[in-house]
Amino acid sequence: MKEHHSFAYRFYVSEAWKRCRASYLRKEPLCERCERPATQVHHKIRLTVDNISDPSISLSFDNLEALCTECHQQEHHPVRWRCDEFGHVEL
């Protein structure tokens, strides 16, 4: 694991995050963008080394969003192009 990601790994395996995530998904069982079943909990303000220890950012429902896997993937890795039915690239 890369060193700069270790702070996030420790947070995401913590009991505090697991409880917060489960509680949020009970409150918001559908994706807040497309209304499919939510499988991910996204931080609106991204976690950094400087803010991850601040529960008003890392564990606050105000900073969370329930997303399906597809919407969460789009948030972190947006597709900048796609192919039409003939295999032509569309921007």
SS (H, E, C) 35-73: CCECCEEEECCCCCCCCCCCHHHHCCHHHEEEECHHHHH
Q: In angstroms, rounded to a whole number, what is the distance separating the alpha carbons of residues 32 and 36? A: 8
Q: Which residue has the tokens 């609106």?
A: 44
Give the domain ranges of the chain.
3-90
**pLDDT attached to residue 77:** 80
**Token duo for residue 58:** 């890392």
Say what the pTM is. 0.78
- Tens of pLDDT along the chain (91 residues)? 444 467 789 999 999 999 999 999 999 999 999 999 999 999 999 999 999 999 999 999 999 999 999 999 888 887 666 666 776 666 5
